[in-house]
Amino acid sequence: MTTYLSFLAFAALLAVAPGPDTFLTLRATVVGGRGRGLLTAAGITAAGAVQGVLAATGLGALLAQSEPVFAAVRWAGVAYLTWLGVNAVRDALRRDGSVWTVGAGRSRVRRWTAVRQGFVCNITNPKVLAFNLAVLPQFVGDGQGLPALLAYALTLVAVGTLVLLAVVWVAGFAATALTRPRFRRGVDGATGVVMLGFATALAVEA
C-alpha cells in the first residue's frame, strides 16, 4: 500500500505538469465550451488507457524495441502536433476569432472531431508509452502479475483524467465570462505556438 500511495503522489505530480494534452484540452474548453473540453479529455483518456494496457501486457516493450515502429510513431506525433499548432495559429488570425463557437451557438467542430483530436494527440506521443515502460516496473517490482501492472498503469490514466477535468472546469469559467473574439484568438495563438514548440522538441529529440 505504501508503494502504491507513493506512485499515486508521483502520478499526481506528473499529471499537473503541462503538456500537449493539457493545452489541447484548455483550448478546446475556452473556445468551444466545457462540452468540447470534456470530449477532448475523453479522447485523451481513451488513448492513455490504450498505451497503459500496451505497457502492462508487454506489447509496448516490443514496439519500443522496434526502432522503425517507434520512429514512425514519433514522426506521426511531430506531424500531428504541427498540424494542431498550424491550425490553431490560423484560427487565431481569423477576424471572427475561431472556428469554435461559444455559448448558445453551435460549434462547427463536430463532437467526434474533438474526441479524435484528443485521442490522436496522446496516442502519437511516444513519450507516454516510453514513460510507462520505464516507470511502472520501478514501482510494481519483480514477480508482479498483469493485474498489478494494469492497476498501476490505469491509475496513471485516472489521475491524468482528473487533472484534465479540473482544467475543463476552470477553463469553463473563462469560456463563459470571456467570449470576446480577441480573447479566443489569443488562446488559439498561444496554443498554436506551444504545440509547434512541442512538435519541434519531439522532432529534434534523439
Q: If DSSP codes are grouped into helix, strand and coil, which group holds residue 100?
A: coil
Please give the single-letter amino acid code of residue 12.
A
Q: Tell me, what amino acid is at 127?
A: K
Instruction: Report how far residue 74's alpha carbon sits from residue 59's, in angstroms, rounded to the nearest whole number.
Output: 17
- Calpha distance 63→61 (Å, rounded): 5
CB 168 within 8 A of CB 29: yes
What's the CA gap between 188 and 86, in Å, rounded?
A: 10
Task: Parse the chain into domains and list their residue ranges.
Answer: 21-204
pLDDT of residue 16: 78
Nearest to 25 by CA among 195, 164, 187: 164
pLDDT tens-digit readout, 94-143? 655 444 444 444 445 567 888 998 999 888 887 787 777 777 767 776 66
The cell for 119 is: 485521442
Give me the pLDDT at residue 124, please.
84
